[in-house]
Structure 1
Amino acid sequence: MKREQAEKMKHTLVAVLFLMQGMSAVGGTTAAAGATAHLSTMLPYLTQPRNMNGELSSSPKLFANVSGSVNDEGTCQCSVYLPDTTFPVEKVEQLEIITTTLSQKFEAELSKVREYSKKIELYQQQLLNLTIRVQQVETGGISYTELDFQLLKVEISDLERLVTQLKPSLVGSSAIVEQIYLEITNLTILVSELESLDKNNVLAIRRQIVSLQNRLKECEENATKIPSPPYFPPGTCIHRGLMNVSQPYVAKLNWRGFSYKYGSWGRDYYPSNPEKEVYWVAPLNTEGRYLEYFRIYRSFDDLLLFKSMYERRITYGEGSGAALYKNHLYYHAYGSRYMVKHDITTNTQVLKKELPGAAVGNRFSYAGVAWQDIDFAVDESGLWVIYSTENNVGNIVISKLNETTLDVLNTWQTRQYKPSVSNAFLLCGVLYATRPLNTKKEEIFYMYDTSTGQEGRISIIMDKKLDTIQSIDYSPTDQKLYVYSDGYLVRYDVTFQA
């Protein structure tokens, strides 16, 4: 405690000396010299540590650095530096720098906030103005500009163009379209008048345009909409004949493989039990002539999954003209004019009878399909056979058969050359013949009605997945065409004329 008091006394004496130095400047040179001499004697005492008796300590330590000088006027000047190591000067400086930086950032953000506030006020005013304008338009208190009329003219021009495009697509009368076109012309005149006179009736014009657009849309839908075909119960012939066929549905490859490109397949027809499902597939051997094996399936799903009810072997059939009717397979016996009736359940030949006058030996087979001299067919009325004779110079001959005895009940001779058609089938007593247009399309181009004896040309296009059609069989049970094409089993739905 006493040491601290001594230190404080030293600091006080130094301060007194500085005060005396200032006062000596007024007292003259002598006083200054005396003060200087006194200062010279006092500084060592003040700047060196001493003990309690005023004596120098054994190891003096410098705690202050004092330097002095006398100016031209004789005044003593000195500087005293008292170090203070306990005060954190560097940290204070860092705090000052951080404070300055934060202040600058705060001012920048504050400026942005002020700018955003001004923009928000501007947007609020714009929204208010837009709200007022919308209310005025809704209440009809504002006039339309020149741009509104230009838009009207563009819309009317579009309507006129649509009507012009719609005219060629309509089949039959186009009176409705002509009436719409006349109304569009009247609208054009009316818009021109309103543009020069009254601009407050634009809403009425727009309503008329919307109405016309809706009517045009209905016309387009009616022009492009394909009506659903009328329904006729299977097994009936109350329609007016074949109208169209669907896109092909490829069921699968035949059960013997890709190399067996010739053959036939279809669904059995039971007039007394039309719900019964029995399918048959009869690929020829690879040379495209011999019919030796066929399989029977109890459902279409079983056919797709290769789950046959049974497989049968016969010796031998010829060509792809076989057909299944009432649980019996009818086919052309190899190398002869004989027709064969085969029971598929017992796998026995029931009957064999010659077809009188039939040309055989690949004499008048179908175009592109060999060994199909005798082609059996089934329709709603029963069993038929399609063939050719020398007496009819190779033209198609149609005979109605008694399925029990295979006797010929009636015969019709056509004027269509058999080798010029690719295949044929019967539907409700009408023969339909096909011909290839290219590798992707087949055309049903010829018909012969056995009920009237009339024949003629038609054009019904059949899309093909493969190049050649080896056989076509019609099933009255589901009204489908069963096509054997290059080894694949293909089906077509048929539609009839009302």
Structure 2
Amino acid sequence: MMKLDTIILLCFLFNTTQQLNLNSCACDLTSKEKAFPHETLNSVNDNALNCSQTVTAQKALELESLLLGLKLRLPQLLNDVSILEKEDDGELYGVVSLQVIENELIEIKNMIDRLNRTTKGHQQLTADSNQQLAHLREELQELEQYDTLQVEMRRKDNQRLKRALDECRNDNDHNPQPTHHPDNVCPHGKFVNITGPRFYSTGESTVNHKYGGWGRDPEPELGKENWYWRVILNVNNIYANQISFYSSLSSLTVGVKTPDNFIIHPSNPTTNTIQGPNVVLYGGALFYNCYNSDRLCRYNIATKTISTVQLPKGARYNSKGNFCHLSECYSYTDMDLATDESGVWLIYSTVQHFGNLVLSKVDITFPDDPPSLNQTWHTSVYKQAVTNTFMACGVLYATRYINQDMEEIFYSFDTSTGVERFNVGIFIKKMCPNIYFLNYSPVDQMLHVYCDAYMVSYMVLFEEIM
């Protein structure tokens, strides 16, 4: 009986399926629209991406930097030649200055060669890019025919109307306001690159004195505008007790000091002794980290007096918060002094801020009142991931170690806006593996470097304000 029921059910399903098949229908759909060419669109996207990767802002910046470098170098060369013509010192300084001029001519020739190579490369790049853009334009025009809803056409019409409206507004503005640059804009323009090295010498020092600092006073006494100063740490690279002065770059090169050389303290270090290489001279006073102390010292050259200021609680000192890279830390670089167009700055780190860079403006009062720390900024970059810092036009810049031949200015912090950048991407060609001292001179827009007993300088390039 069970088998008979099963057979009857199967027969019923078969008959029902046959009836459904007889009643089914099918139709063909024919579209008058062309199939959208997705492959062409993908090809356009790929070509546009390749073009944007080939034509970069960095290529244009390289050309602009070379042109700006030549513009700055040529007047400096004329000035150096003029100084050479006036020198009359038994031929000693004349020979040194002549060597400096010869080096400048070699560097200028190298810059012109690089400029010629860059120009030829850019000409070929321009020709190739024009050809690619023409091809992309043709492909985009072909793709526009698929814009059946005219979305792209309406967008272009709106853009034309907006431009016409802007032009109409500009024409009706009969009393335009004069353009004023904000007070926080750098008078030289935007910092874009460096060239060099311009100067490279050990002076009278030996390679045993690896650490030290040198530079110029941004606010010199009358008659000392062309003087240079130098501080050399002792052989254990911890402290120094005197500052030396030189009447010119030639004097610094051959090691001829002026009579105005000062011993801050006898050879045995005390709390007033210089600790670490990061010192600066400003307004006839030397600023440095007080020995074995979390205080900032100022030594007044004229009065031979020392005044100090206590750093905030938790400031790291005594080689606890140094500049470092992966394989080495630079001893006793906890505190970094810097100068720029506005005065003196102190860069350090604190326990409370997790070892990140802290920046304070040093309030300078003369002649005998101690300095003080004014406004303070906290950054998000770890100090021991940085090899050095400097200031220029109120902007903090930090460097990192790339290899023995190259250092990168990778970070900036603008004190006027609080904006941080981690992609500055300006490279320094090093003359020795480690930079122990780095400071910007607003007098001549130079970077002064001290590395393994050598003094090196680089020209800072700024993009002119239009």
Of 403, 409, 422 in structure 2, the residue corresponding to residue 444 of structure 1 is 409
Q: Is residue 2:342 matched to residue 1:381?
A: yes
Show the counterpart of 2:418.
453
Q: Secondary structure at the match of 1:453?
A: coil
Q: In the alignment, what sits opposite 1:392?
A: 353
Return closer, same or farther for 1:446/1:308 CA change in 2, 3 Å cut-off. Answer: same
**Would you say the 8 A contact 2:221–2:284 is kept in 1?**
no
Cα 1:317–1:171 shift into 2, 3 Å: farther
What whole-Å deviation, never above 9, does each CA across 1:348-374 have from its counterpart, x for those lacking one?
124122122321121111013110111
* Shift of residue 497, structure 1, vs aligned partner: 2.5
Asked if 1:170 corresponds to 2:152, the answer is no
Match for residue 320 of structure 1?
Answer: 277
- C-alpha separation between the residues in 2 aligned to 1:464 and 1:274? 33
Partner residue in 1 for 2:399: 434
Q: What's the offset of the Cα at 1:313?
A: 1.7
Q: 1:255/1:312 Cα in 2 relative to 1: closer, same or farther (>3 Å)?
A: farther
The C-alpha deviation readout for 1:361-403, integer Å capped at 9, x for no partner, is 2111101311011111110011110000011110000000112
Contact 2:322 2:333 in 1 (8 A): yes
1:490 aligns with 2:456: yes
Specify the alignment match of 1:478 in structure 2: 444
Distance 2:223 2:425 in 1: 30
CA positional deviation for 1:176: 8.0
CA positional deviation for 1:237: 1.8
TM-score normalized by the length of structure 2? 0.56
- Larger RCO (CA under 8 A, 6+ residues apart): 2
Distance, in Å, in 2 between the alignment partners of 1:429 and 1:403 is 16
Tell me the distance in 1 between the aligned counterparts of 2:127 and 2:414.
29
1:39-54 aligned within 5 A: none
Q: How many angstroms apart in 2 are the aligned matches of 1:361 and 1:317?
A: 12
The answer as to whether partners of 1:265 and 1:281 remain within 8 angstroms in 2 is yes
> Structure 1 294/254 Cα, relative in aligned 2: closer, same or farther at 3 Å?
farther
Does the C-alpha gap of structure 1 residues 473 and 166 become closer, same or farther in structure 2, counting only changes over 3 Å? closer
Q: Distance in 1 between matches of 2:385 and 2:127?
A: 36
TM-score (norm 1): 0.52
Moved more, 461-470 or 304-313: 304-313
1:275–1:294 CA distance, 2 compared to 1 (3 A): closer
Matched with 1:45 is none
Change (3 A) 1:174 1:398: same
Residue matched to 1:464:
430
Contact in 1 for aligned 2:340/2:442 (Cα 8 Å): yes
Distance between the aligned counterparts of 1:263 and 1:478, measured in 2? 21
Find the partner of 1:359 among 308, 316, 338.
316
After superposition, the Cα gap between the structure-2 partners of 1:488 and 1:169, relative to the gap in structure 1 and judged at 3 Å, is: farther
Between the aligned partners of 1:463 and 1:167, the Cα distance in structure 2 is 24
- Structure 1: where are the runs of 5+ without partners? 1-164, 180-234
In the TM superposition, what is the alpha-carbon distance from 1:177 to its structure 2 partner? 9.0
Within 5 A, what are the aligned runs for 1:258-407?
Answer: 258-270=207-219, 276-309=225-258, 310-315=260-265, 316-346=273-303, 348-357=304-313, 358-367=315-324, 368-404=329-365, 405-407=370-372
State the distance in 2 between where 1:428 and 1:274 align: 26
CA contact (8 A) 1:267 1:280 kept: yes
> 1:109-124 alignment to 2 at 5 Å?
none
Q: Deviations over 1:430-485 (max 9, x none)?
A: 00000111000000000000100010121001101111000101100000000001
Q: Deviations over 1:38-91 (max 9, x none)?
A: xxxxxxxxxxxxxxxxxxxxxxxxxxxxxxxxxxxxxxxxxxxxxxxxxxxxxx
Structure 2 residue aligned with 1:34: none
- Aligned-residue sequence identity (percent) comes to 35
Contact map agreement 2:387 2:435 (CA 8 A) in 1? yes
Distance in 2 (CA, whole Å) between partners of 1:172 and 1:273 is 56
| Greater C-alpha Rg | 1
RMSD: 2.7
Provide the residue aligned with 2:186 in structure 1.
237
- The residue aligned with 1:246 is 195
- Whichever residue aligns with residue 459 of structure 2, its letter is D
Q: Distance in 2 between matches of 1:487 and 1:364?
A: 23
1:410 is matched with: 375
Aligned-partner residue type, residue 477 of structure 1: V
Query: What displacement does 1:321 show?
Result: 1.1
Aligned residue for 1:255, secondary structure, equals coil
Q: Which of 385, 388, 398 is matched with 1:420 structurally?
A: 385
Cα-to-partner distance string for 1:314-349 (whole Å, 9 max, x where unaligned): 231100111000111111110001211112244x12
Q: Point out where structure 2 has 5 or more consecutive residues left out of the alignment.
A: 1-119, 135-183, 266-272
On the 8 A contact 1:254/1:281 being kept in 2, the answer is: no
Tell me which residue corresponds to 1:215: none
Aligned residue identity for 2:321: F
Cα separation, 1, equivalents of 2:127 and 2:220: 41
Amino acid at match of 2:348: Y
| Distance verdict in 2 for CA 1:324–1:477, change over 3 Å | same
* Kept after mapping to 2: 8 A contact 1:167/1:174: no
The question of whether the paired residues in 1 share the 8 Å contact of 2:203 and 2:253 is answered with no
Q: 1:281 to 1:172 in 2, by over 3 A?
A: farther
Cα distance 1:166–1:262, how it changes in 2: closer, same or farther (>3 A)? closer
Alpha-carbon offset, residue 178 of structure 1 = 7.2
In the comparison of the two structures, how many residue pairs are matched? 279
Whether the 8 Å CA contact 1:254–1:283 is kept in 2: the answer is no
Between 1:441-450 and 1:287-296, the stretch displaced more is 287-296
Task: Confirm or deny: 8 A CA contact 1:386 1:398 kept in the other structure.
Answer: yes
State the Cα deviation string for residues 260-292 of structure 1 (Å, max 9, x = none). Answer: 000111111128979812211101111111122
Distance 2:261 2:220 in 1: 24
Amino acid at match of 1:421: V
